[in-house]
Structure 1
Amino acid sequence: MRLATWSHEGVVRSGVVTDVGLHALPDGRTVLDLVHAGLPAALEAGASALSTAPVPLSEVRLLPPIAPPTIRDFVAFEEHVEGVLRAVTAEAAVPPEWYQAPTFYFTNPYAVVGAFDDVAVPPGSERFDFELEVACVVSRDGRSLTPEQARGHVFGYTVLNDWSARDLQSREMRVQLGPVKGKDSATTLGPWLVTADEVEQHRDAHGFLDLAMSVTLNDTLVGHDLLGNMGWPFEELLAYASRGTEIRAGDVIGSGTCGNGGCLAELWGLRGTDDPPPLRPGDVVEMTVEGIGSIRNRVVAGPTCPDVRPARPRPRTRREIP
């Protein structure tokens, strides 16, 4: 089942996506409400929505399918790490620590945008980039899960674009912290949330979802990969995220950027030149994932903000504490 959230004639609704349009949930529930109810109850509620009159997709603005309480974004593709580190940190090889355990960072849940929304260049950035990913949504709360338990905590999947200001990210990571401001301007989720049962047919013998992924820039193919090339399947990412702590229903877990051109920085690092160049206003980025759908965002000019003040020199005198 495909679950979406949309705005139509000034009213925000959630419901089921079919070939004829969008069917609103009759009781006004949100997709996040369905996630909290659990997958079996969500499928039952979604089936009841099919009796409502459909609204054509062409008449609505698709919003992010859910408003996630948290977003953890992993870096699970080795090929991406190899290329992007050269562009962002000047490192020439994948660090051995990457192989030891999955790594993630928390990104901004308030910066989530819809599948076809415009995305503004972050203030002060001259090296704006996209990142092609898939995200899973947690179906129920859990703590210190095993990978086997974690599979039962996956509600569904959506396409994720982790927009990145590479120049801001590079500065932050030189301080051995972040990424922070380099990542929190926008994250696209969409076009809808596909329940886990819909893509189970693509699972390979090793537990990975073998879904084709592609990204175009101004309608020219830039990158493509298979989701099955992740270093860890989603169950192991969820298990690691819950290790010694808690994950909750509605949390978003990003796969990290795929390889083979899943972002511009990977290509910059491998080629040693800015080819293609950083994103500029007017550029259009479209991402498609087999079994899930497509998102398409136009880059627009961002706001003008005052320059960031540098730190003052460290004082060399101190007042003695009595």
Structure 2
Amino acid sequence: MKWVTYCDQSKEKVGWIVELQDEEYMIPLEAAADWFRSQGRDSPPVFESLLSLIEAGEEVSLQWKEIHGSIQSKPEVILEIGVPIRNVKLLAPIPRPPSIRDFYAFEEHVKNARGRRGLEVIPEWYEIPVFYFSNHLAVVGTGESIRRPKLSRCLDYELELACVIGKKGRDIPAEKAADYIFGYMIMNDWSARDLQIKEMKVGLGPAKGKDFATSLGPYLVTPDELDRYKTANGRYRLEMKAYINGNEISSGNFETIYYTFAQMIERASADVTLYPGEILGSGTVGNGCLLELGEEVHRWLEPGDTVSLSVTGMGTLTNNIIE
């Protein structure tokens, strides 16, 4: 399923996406429940947030998956209760997650970013997947504006994927981690590079170079939707692209990731309990930011620019930059 959070008369609501005749429709949870009850069936609870639905547990998710399957096979029901996606104001799937841990998991990105500064990859990077905590209260969705920090003139996008934890767990081994993933979505870890570089010289961070915004969405895609892209080694072959003002700037593939989400979950849950709705970012795919590509490829982002990130099977996440 492709879950969404959307805005209806200033209220956050939950739905999912279906395709019909090459067009996407959003099915509101409330409308789906009403239709299911009209068939003489008991509907599972209607949740006001996707986080609440995830917290309710796997049994509830499976009940909604059954209803999704019923509606998906009935074009007349989709046209009756669905809303064309172009008429829906989408929000971040989880607008206020409990936490965001962002990892540093693509070797090519590490090599490129450090190489720009004349540095080698440190041996410790190959020993453990590392992460930092981002600002979980500065999440934005597709279509929302990103304010460039006042003191920055080196604003950058970062092309990433994120996974969402589906159930509580602690000391989760990598071989069992898949059971703890509710779904995946595109993530843009916006970076003010001039602020980031200065503050990290002190030995802490990133802080103000990162905490102003993180974009998530447009959908939260359940793992079964991506099964067709899974490779023999358990990774996903997903094209990842970034566009500035409609021009393709970055291109990579999620299959090239060095540390898997399973390994990230194992690391994040070591001696710590993970809870439903917590978000783990993959870090930037190789060549997935301007820091790697250099100003000879494209200048830093400026007010008026529009940035779109697209990933196979996961839609497009778009934001415009404002002063």
What range describes the TM-score normalised by the shorter chain of this pair? 0.7 to 0.9
For 1:75 and 1:54, the matched residues in 2 are separated by 39
Matches of 1:277 and 1:225 in 2, distance apart?
20
How far did 1:53 drift?
Answer: 1.4
Offset of residue 274 of structure 1: 5.1
2:209 pairs with 1:205: no
The alpha carbon displacement at 1:47 in A equals 4.4
2:275 and 2:47 map into 1 onto residues whose CA distance is 22
Task: Find the partner of 2:158 among 123, 127, 131.
Answer: 131
Match of 1:264 among 269, 290, 295: 290
The structural deviation recorded for 1:192 is 0.9
**Are 1:55 and 2:77 matched, yes or no?**
no
- Which one-letter code corresponds to 2:26 in the other structure? L
TM-score, length basis structure 1:
0.87
Q: How does 1:60-79 map to 2 (within 5 A)?
A: 60-66=88-94, 67-79=96-108
Aligned to 1:291: 313
Corresponding residue for residue 49 of structure 2:
30
- How far has the Cα of 1:124 moved from its partner? 0.4
1:249 Cα deviation after fit: 0.8
Given that 2:12 and 2:48 are in contact with CA atoms closer than 8 Å, whether structure 1 keeps it comes out as: no
The residue type paired with residue 13 of structure 2 is R
Cα offset for 1:59? 2.0
Provide the rounded CA distance (Å) in 1 between the counterparts of 2:47 and 2:267.
35
Structure 2's unaligned 5+ residue stretches are: 31-45, 72-76
2:112 is aligned with 1:83: yes
Count of aligned positions:
294
Aligned-pair identity in percent equals 39
Aligned residue in 1 for 2:303: 281
SS at match of 1:16: strand
Match in the other structure for 1:318: none
Given that residues 177 and 265 in structure 2 are in contact (C-alpha distance below 8 angstroms), is that contact kept between their aligned partners in structure 1? Answer: yes
TM-score (norm 2): 0.87
What is the deviation of 1:46?
A: 4.8
The alpha-carbon deviation at position 248 of structure 1 amounts to 1.0
Shift of 1:21: 1.8
Q: Aligned partner of 1:267: which letter?
A: L
Q: Alpha-carbon deviations, 1:63-117, whole Å to 9, x = none? A: 0001311000001011111122244xx2421111111110100000111001111
Question: Could you list the runs of 4 or more consecutive aligned residues of structure 1 that deviate by over 6 angstroms after TM superposition?
Answer: none
Asked whether 1:144 is paired with 2:163, we answer no
- Specify whether residues 44 and 293 from structure 1 end up closer, same or farther in structure 2 by C-alpha distance, changes over 3 A only: same
Q: Which runs of 5+ in 1 are unaligned?
A: 302-322
Q: Secondary structure at the match of 1:3?
A: strand
Structure 2 match to 1:2: 2
Cα deviation for residue 126 of structure 1 reads: 0.7
**Distance between the aligned counterparts of 1:123 and 1:39, measured in 2?**
44
Q: Distance in 2 between matches of 1:232 and 1:142?
A: 20
Which residue of the partner structure matches residue 308 of structure 1? Answer: none
Cα distance in 1, alignment partners of residues 143 and 62 from structure 2: 26
Mapped partners of 1:143, 1:83: distance in 2: 34
Does residue 1:115 correspond to 2:142, yes or no?
yes
Higher mean alpha-carbon deviation, 30-39 vs 275-284, is at: 30-39
1:125–1:165 contact (8 Å) kept in structure 2: yes
Query: Quick one: distance in 1 between partners of 2:232 and 2:128?
Result: 22
- Kindly report which structure 2 residues correspond to 1:165-314, keeping only aligned pairs within 5 A, or say none: 165-259=192-286, 261-268=287-294, 273=295, 275-301=297-323
Q: Does the 8 A contact of 2:12 with 2:49 survive in 1?
A: no
Matched, 1:106 2:125: no
Partner of 1:18: 18
1:310 is aligned to none
